[in-house]
Amino acid sequence: MLEVELLDGFVPASSDVIIAVAAGSISGRFANARTRLQLEHGAFDVTYTATTVALYNFDPSALPTPEATPSATPLIPACTGDCNADGRVTVDEIVRGVNIALGSIDIDTCPRFDVTADGAVTVDEVVSAVAAALNGCPAG
């Protein structure tokens, strides 16, 4: 179980990336944070790489609801390449993904490109982002 507490009134910006775990090798996922981690005062998106677990895209308006219960409905994945989580993929975000794939910039600049959580951006993931730019992100 991944437990995170924001101290002394700290509220991260949505652009902040927090490395919660760094290790030589990571396998599996936290049961309570497969793709999102709900806190008392907001929620983080979660991404996994071969060596890190990163929290990003903090949303202070995402508050838990007392009546919320787990559902068997599959989650719609985050839109590949939507770096700023605004529900669309832009050309500059695609360029960022290509630069990550080429090794010019770090994956932490846009963890949403790493759909497979393997710490790298592949051609398939860039193509998926281009498709999202052309056809829109999945509704969710």
pLDDT along the chain (140 residues), means of 10: 87 89 85 85 88 90 67 56 89 94 89 84 91 83
112 and 61 both lie in a single domain: no
Pure H helices in 1-140: 91-102, 123-135
Query: What's the domain range around 120?
Result: 91-135
The confidence score (pLDDT) of residue 85 equals 83
Q: Could you tell me if 45 and 108 are in contact, meaning their C-beta atoms sit under 8 angstroms apart?
A: no
Residue 23 lies in a domain: yes
- In a domain, residue 81? The reply is no
Residue 86 is assigned to a structural domain of this protein: no
Per-residue confidence (pLDDT) for residue 138, from 0 to 100:
74
61 and 2: one domain? Answer: yes
pTM for the model: 0.48
Domains of the chain: total: 2
Q: What b/e sequence results for 96-134 when a residue is b if at least 16 CB atoms lie within 10 Å of its CB, and e otherwise?
A: bbbebbeeeeebeebbbbbbebeeebeeebbebbbebbe
| Residue 71 within a domain | no
Question: Which residue's entry shows tokens 């409905």?
Answer: 73
Cα diameter, the chain: 45
Residue 128 lies in a domain: yes
The residue length of the chain stands at 140
Residues 97, 58, single domain; the answer is no
Distance separating alpha carbons of residues 101 and 47, to the nearest angstrom: 17
